[in-house]
């Protein structure tokens, strides 16, 4: 018997702003979004938790943040991780180098990630899964940290951002730079899969959105639905309602475009046409 096609549709950066929070809920109620990844250090964290509790059908996981964002701990407690402005390095590569080469940074990273898990736990929400902002958990040090702490909390569902370069290729403005990026991610996610399988973790076989982060389009999403493999997959988005005014902000326009994709009736009709079952990370347990 052939496996059905199951699809998690996730909204990242839940908790980062009220505009993101409201877009996630709108996409869940009126669209196809099934899941969200919560930034517990986000400026709209409490708002996100309240909305999630009002919408129990939305699965919520932890979006571990250790680059391009704020820590949960006071910056003075993690001086080798947080800068003078109280934030993590905006550049994920710089953050990764710091965690790889700095013993103090690794110790502080561990404490900060524990604090993020603990804050999520105190929210009263059930852990759907764990992933990370900027996919920094593909970094060996960050992955090892997250695996150890996830096991402490009894969580065995982690996103592996194993995207398909060839599915994204027709929609890339220039394939040269993404091709090198794709090779690096292929090597890192292969290591992730080996480690996670050894430790009994579960994850979707394919996660789409990495190669077109900031450039997701309706055409790309419809092509993914048409060619979706059997088994478990995930497509993640960064939706947000527009702030007023938009001021031609490219990033904000793209976030609104991604919300529009999630509530587009053509997306729903293609999901039905191709007999795709919308699911969450919780459902992975049922298919072991």
The pLDDT tens digits for 207-217 are 999 999 989 99
Mean pLDDT of the chain: 93
Helix intervals (H) in the chain: 18-30, 45-54, 92-101, 103-122, 140-152, 165-168, 176-198, 218-226, 250-262, 265-273
Q: What is the pLDDT of residue 244?
A: 62
The pLDDT tens digits for 173-209 are 776 667 788 888 999 999 999 999 999 999 999 999 9
The answer to whether the CB of 157 falls within 8 A of the CB of 125 is: no
Percent of the chain with pLDDT over 90: 81
Helical packing angle, 45-54 and 18-30, nearest 10°: 20
Per-residue pLDDT at 246 exceeds 70: no
Residue of higher predicted confidence among 100 and 156? 156
The pLDDT tens digits for 45-84 are 999 999 999 999 999 999 999 999 999 999 999 999 987 7
Averaged pLDDT for residues 76-97 = 88
Q: Residue 97 contacts by C-beta under 8 Å, 6 or more apart in sequence?
A: none
Give the Cα separation of 37 and 91 in Å (integer).
20
Give the Cα separation of 11 and 235 in Å (integer).
9
> Which DSSP symbol is given to 76?
G
Q: Residue 36 contacts by C-beta under 8 Å, 6 or more apart in sequence?
A: 10, 11, 12, 14, 24, 28, 48, 52, 58, 59, 60, 61
3-state helix, strand, coil in the chain (%, to 5): 50, 15, 35
Q: Which residues of 110-137 are buried (b: 16+ CB within 10 A; e: fewer)?
A: bebbbbbbebbeebebebbbbbbbbbbb
Q: What is the pLDDT of residue 101?
A: 87
Q: Is 14 left (phi over 0), alpha (psi -120 to 50) or beta?
A: beta
Per-residue pLDDT at 247 exceeds 70: no
Q: Residue 110 contacts by C-beta under 8 Å, 6 or more apart in sequence?
A: 145, 148, 149
The answer to whether the CB of 38 falls within 8 A of the CB of 14 is: yes
pLDDT band with cut points at 50, 70 and 90 for residue 126: very high
Per-residue pLDDT at 272 exceeds 90: yes
Q: What is the pLDDT of residue 236?
A: 98
Q: Strand 276-279 and strand 231-237: pairing? A: unpaired
* 35 phi/psi in degrees, rounded to 5: -150, 160
Q: What is the pLDDT of residue 86?
A: 85
The pLDDT tens digits for 15-24 are 999 999 999 9
pLDDT band with cut points at 50, 70 and 90 for residue 172: confident
Give the Cα separation of 217 and 238 in Å (integer).
12
pLDDT band with cut points at 50, 70 and 90 for residue 249: confident
Give the Cα separation of 42 and 13 in Å (integer).
8
């Amino acid at each position: 018997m052939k496996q059905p096609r199951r699809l998690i549709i996730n909204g990242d950066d839940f908790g980062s702003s009220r505009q993101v929070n409201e877009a996630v809920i709108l996409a869940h109620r009126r669209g196809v979004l099934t899941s969200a990844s919560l930034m517990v250090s986000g400026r709209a964290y409490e708002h996100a938790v309240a909305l999630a509790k009002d919408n129990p059908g939305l699965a919520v996981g932890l979006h571990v943040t250790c680059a391009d964002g704020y820590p949960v701990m006071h910056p003075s407690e993690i001086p080798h991780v947080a800068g003078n402005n109280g934030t993590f390095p905006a550049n994920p590569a710089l953050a990764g180098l710091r965690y790889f080469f700095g013993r103090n940074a690794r110790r502080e990273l561990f404490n900060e990630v524990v604090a993020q898990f603990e804050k999520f736990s105190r929210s009263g929400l059930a852990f759907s899964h764990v992933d990370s902002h900027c996919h920094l958990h593909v970094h060996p040090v960050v992955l090892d940290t997250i695996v150890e702490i996830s096991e402490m909390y009894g969580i065995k569902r982690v996103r592996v951002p194993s995207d398909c370069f060839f599915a994204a290729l027709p929609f890339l403005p220039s394939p040269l730079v993404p091709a090198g990026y794709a090779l690096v991610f292929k090597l890192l996610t292969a290591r992730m899969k080996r480690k996670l399988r050894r430790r009994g973790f579960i994850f979707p076989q394919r996660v789409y959105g990495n190669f077109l982060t900031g450039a997701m389009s309706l055409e790309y999403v419809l092509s993914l639905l048409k060619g979706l493999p059997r088994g478990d997959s995930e497509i993640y988005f960064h939706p947000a309602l527009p702030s007023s005014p938009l001021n031609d902000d490219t990033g904000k326009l793209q976030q609104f475009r991604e919300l529009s994709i999630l509530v587009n009736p053509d997306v729903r009709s293609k999901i039905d046409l191709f007999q795709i079952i919308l699911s969450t990370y919780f459902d992975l347990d049922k298919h072991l």
